[in-house]
Amino acid sequence: MHIINDFFLLIWGERLNQEVVFDEKHTTEFDQYRLTSFDNFCDSVAILLIISPQNFANMAILEEPKTVLNTFFQHVIFNKENIQYAQSQLLGYFIVLGNLQVNHAITKRLELLKKEGIISYDAVRSLGSIISLIEEKKIEVTSLHVKSATTQENYYKTELNLLLTAIENLNQAVETPRLQERLHVIPERLENQRFSIGITGVMNAGKSTMLNALLGQEVLGTSVVPETANLTLIKYAKNPYAVVNFWNAKEWSKIEEGAKSLKSLEAFVKESKAHFGETFHTLVTPQGESETIAVNDLALYTSAKHSEKKCNLVKSVELYTDLKFVQDGVQIVDTPGLDDPVVQREEITLEYLSECDLMIHLMNAAQAATQKDVDFIIDALLYRNVAQLLIVITRIDTIAEKELQEVIAYTKRSIEARLNEQNKGAKLDEVIAKIVFIPIAGKLALMHKLGQEKEALALGYDMNRTGLPLVESYLEEVLFGANSQKANLIISANRKEIESIITESMSAFEQELHYLSISTEEIEQAYAKHQEEKAVMANFLEQIKTSVAQSKEEMEHYFGTLQKFASNQLDKLQNVVKRRITDDVSYEFSKNKKAPKEERIGSMIETAIKDGMVDLVRDYRYEFQKKMQSSLEYMDAKYGEFKTESTAPMFDAKAFCEEHLGSLLIFKNSTVVIAAANDAIKKYGKNDLSALSMNLETIFATEFSHIKEMLEEKLHKINHELLSSFVSLCEAPARSIEERFGAEGALIARAMHQMKDQTLNREARSMEIKEKERVMGIVLNDLNAQKESK
């Protein structure tokens, strides 16, 4: 070490007797002293370095140089040999350290000693020249590679790739275990997102043909499923298979009950019972049976024409396929025809469709806009929360262009007429605005997909003319486009979670950097203060826990009150429907001497029940929202001064209710009750209104008992979810406070450990933190740019 040799030549005028070697054992002691008390360390070093032959005798009689020597080297005698050893080890440490901040601080102290007349100008110049030779040591910190996202697909896939790239970059930067766990669950959550498409239409509307064309394979074609008679859910799996679900005993009993009023259903039940005989109860069981089968065997279970008739007992099918169209989280709900004689299938269909992100209704161009079509369209848009409806007019290759335009115009006129009949003409614009019409030639599109394009072209249809590309583009935009509400919600929610993780991580890093720069005493003071605050907070959190338990108990009691309210509303609705029918029958017989038309009675019953249920759900939501708002405001106030900007956002009871009560819809087919009511009118309407009233009372009591049962079952499930979410909302600020205190405590504990860690290089750790902060800054900028580009 030539710098040390130069020091002794300049200051002592001699070389050391042996080669100078820095003893690494001194590193930890010097580091600890420097890092815990920087100023005292530099003062002490300056005192030892200025000792020379010229002032040795004077320094030897002072206490301070002896104290410093003992502090650094423990119980060493103040003599020339020990002083030279101390000076050589300190200089060796500074060379290894290579910290210009330390070098400048010592030089500054030498200047002050010169001003005080303790050392001469020549001594300062000599020492300064030696110290200036010590070069800054660059701490090597591995630079973290930041990956860029380059995917340019549809909006959703592009944004999804940006989020996944952000997570990949953050995996190398986030250190806190709790935040790492939050980060790691995001990809799985994104992977499990599903976009559902509901396919509806009367029988022979061309549903299977269009689906085959979309899937690019004849999965639902005549070679596999000659006639789909059941609800089919099409999902993705690498290895294709199918799951068949049979009716359970309770569901079948409702089918049998409906058969008492409907001839078509009566024939269906008789055929099923006769065909299966004693084996019937092996498939229709109390708990409900399911079978996993090969896709090639699907026709045995779903074909209405198959001799085994198993389709009669099948409630639904789950078809898992490896086809590309369903790879990106898309699942398809393929429904049986709307004119299915088993009316219970419609209830199941509507339940599934209510959760779909898009509904596609198919109409045969030659038989478009039947009353069943029009009623279903109106029902979907007015009562079933369907935000967007695509009407696909199929088999356009069988009609002329002029006829096609007339089909669309006729459909709109039929919708308007039906709305007027139901006194809902004012809703026309609202309904029409949600409908998009696309005509297709499904069979010809399928030929193109199956490699039979020559035959399709010979008939005058290239792929564009078949209309299928328009359907595909529409689906792509509605499901994955920049204006897709669901796609935006998914991206926005997960982006906010990533931003929150970055913010908390950077806050933790800044806190650690602070602790790395202060002394042990200051860290111990911070720890003591944190423990005091923690004790106060523990008491507060216990109070909050008690308040949450009380609020939960109140909410559970209130659910009982709300269920009684719903039951009373249904009783009132039952009486309203009965009165409307009896009044209308009385009026028609007294004025026109004949019974009302069956269609009119059906429309009155169906509309009254649907409107009544809409009112009930609206009132239920309103009453619950009032209670929720009150309870949440009470809990919000309880947190008081403990709430900070980092805790949970302000409670929004309205948004909460929309989210959790949005599925509070009852899907009940009215075909059976309408048939029974019309039979009673035929029998008693003309001569005995009293008997008619009694019969209608019985009919509607049975119908509304089923509705109550369905509502209670749904409310039980929804109320459980509501209560769980309510408790989670109330506890969220407490969890946030607890997590914040836990994180702060962990940081202080880590800082205390670092103080005792003799091997820790603080400069290296600081640079490592800053490198990780750099990565987080880049990711945060990318996320902000992502938001701004939207």
What's the pLDDT tens digit per position in 750-788?
888 877 776 667 778 888 899 999 999 999 998 988 777
- The three-point CA angle 297-284-332 to 5° equals 50
Position with higher pLDDT, 278 vs 648: 278
Mean pLDDT of all residues in 401-415: 91
Provide the pLDDT confidence category of residue 645 given band limits of 50, 70 and 90: very low
Contact assessment for residue 317 and residue 231, using Cβ atoms and an 8 Å cutoff: yes
- On the question of pLDDT at 273 being above 70, the answer is yes
Provide the pLDDT confidence category of residue 691 given band limits of 50, 70 and 90: very high
Task: Estimate the share of the chain in helix, then strand, then coil, as percent rounded to the nearest 5.
Answer: 70, 5, 25
How many C-beta atoms lie closer than 10 Å to residue 117's C-beta?
7
Looking at residue 648, its pLDDT comes to: 46
Provide the pLDDT confidence category of residue 171 given band limits of 50, 70 and 90: very high
C-alpha–C-alpha distance, residues 257 and 259, integer Å: 5
Burial of 774 (0-12, 13-18, 19+ CB in 10 A): middle
Mean pLDDT of all residues in 414-436: 89
Looking at residue 307, its pLDDT comes to: 64
pLDDT tens profile 237-263? 999 999 999 999 998 998 888 888 788
Pairing label, strands 241-246, 314-321: antiparallel
Mean pLDDT of all residues in 458-478: 94
DSSP summary character for residue 228:
B
Mean pLDDT of all residues in 143-148: 73
Q: What size, in residues, is the chain?
A: 790
In DSSP terms, 321 is beta-bridged to 236
Looking at residue 87, its pLDDT comes to: 93
For 386, residues 6+ apart whose C-beta sits below 8 A from its C-beta are: 353, 354, 356, 359, 380, 434
- Tell me the Cα Rg of the chain: 40
Report residue 285 CA to chain centroid gap. Answer: 36
Mean pLDDT of all residues in 308-322: 87
**Least confident among 138-142, 156-160, 697-701:** 138-142
Q: Which two tokens stand for residue 589?
A: 């017989």
For 184, residues 6+ apart whose C-beta sits below 8 A from its C-beta are: none
Contact assessment for residue 409 and residue 401, using Cβ atoms and an 8 Å cutoff: no
C-alpha–C-alpha distance, residues 753 and 257, integer Å: 74
- On the question of pLDDT at 617 being above 90, the answer is no
For 3, residues 6+ apart whose C-beta sits below 8 A from its C-beta are: 91, 95, 130, 133, 134
Residue of 550, 671, 660, 549 whose CA lies nearest to 599:
671
C-alpha–C-alpha distance, residues 487 and 477, integer Å: 10
**Share above pLDDT 70 across residues of the chain, in percent, rounded to a whole number:** 92
Contact assessment for residue 1 and residue 22, using Cβ atoms and an 8 Å cutoff: yes
Provide the pLDDT confidence category of residue 518 given band limits of 50, 70 and 90: confident
**DSSP states of 234-260 as a string?**
EEE-SS-EEEEEEPPHHHHHHHHHHHT
Task: Report CA-CA distances (Å) from 703 to 158, 494, 614, 685.
Answer: 50, 45, 17, 20
Sheet holding 435-439, edge to edge: 290-293, 241-246, 314-321, 231-236, 330-334, 195-201, 358-364, 389-394, 435-439
Half-sphere exposure in the Cβ direction for 161 (13 Å, CA)? 13
Sign of the C-alpha dihedral computed for residues 471, 476, 479 and 485 taken in this order: negative
Provide the pLDDT confidence category of residue 646 given band limits of 50, 70 and 90: very low
Please state whether 557 falls in left (phi above 0), alpha (psi between -120 and 50) or beta.
Answer: alpha
Residue of 199, 202, 212 whose CA lies nearest to 368:
202
- The three-point CA angle 612-610-558 to 5° equals 50
Mean pLDDT of all residues in 510-518: 87
- On the question of pLDDT at 466 being above 50, the answer is yes
Report residue 665 CA to chain centroid gap. Answer: 23
CATH architecture of the domain formed by 193-217+324-481: 3-Layer(aba) Sandwich (3.40)
Mean pLDDT of all residues in 349-362: 84
Mean pLDDT of all residues in 558-579: 93
C-alpha–C-alpha distance, residues 71 and 454, integer Å: 96
Contact assessment for residue 290 and residue 313, using Cβ atoms and an 8 Å cutoff: no
Looking at residue 384, its pLDDT comes to: 77
Buried b (16+ CB within 10 A) or exposed e, 269-302: beebeeebeeeeeebbeeebeeeeeeeeebbebb
Looking at residue 150, its pLDDT comes to: 66
Task: Report CA-CA distances (Å) from 764 to 38, 99, 135, 165, 519.
Answer: 18, 12, 17, 27, 18
Looking at residue 663, its pLDDT comes to: 66
Provide the pLDDT confidence category of residue 177 given band limits of 50, 70 and 90: confident
**Share above pLDDT 90 across residues of the chain, in percent, rounded to a whole number:** 39
Provide the pLDDT confidence category of residue 226 given band limits of 50, 70 and 90: very low
> φ and ψ at 647, to 5 degrees?
-85, -175
Half-sphere exposure in the Cβ direction for 646 (13 Å, CA)? 15
For 380, residues 6+ apart whose C-beta sits below 8 A from its C-beta are: 200, 353, 359, 361, 386, 389
- On the question of pLDDT at 642 being above 70, the answer is no
- On the question of pLDDT at 641 being above 60, the answer is no
Domain ranges of the chain: 2-132, 154-192+482-517+763-790, 193-217+324-481, 238-322, 553-739
Q: Which two tokens stand for residue 455?
A: 């035959």
In the numeric block, the tokens 């300049």 are attached to: 10
- On the question of pLDDT at 225 being above 50, the answer is no
Provide the pLDDT confidence category of residue 651 given band limits of 50, 70 and 90: low
pLDDT tens profile 32-70? 788 777 888 999 999 999 999 999 999 999 999 999 999
Provide the pLDDT confidence category of residue 1 given band limits of 50, 70 and 90: low
DSSP summary character for residue 140:
P
Looking at residue 243, its pLDDT comes to: 95
In the chain, the largest separation of any two C-alpha atoms, in whole Å, equals 137
Looking at residue 759, its pLDDT comes to: 63
In DSSP terms, 633 is beta-bridged to none
Question: Helix H segments across 116-176?
Answer: 121-132, 155-170
C-alpha–C-alpha distance, residues 228 and 74, integer Å: 92
Residue of 709, 515, 679 whose CA lies nearest to 595:
679
Question: Can you give the pTM of this predicted structure?
Answer: 0.75
Instruction: Select the highest-mean-pLDDT range: 260-274, 601-615, 747-761.
Output: 601-615
Looking at residue 677, its pLDDT comes to: 94
C-alpha–C-alpha distance, residues 224 and 466, integer Å: 24
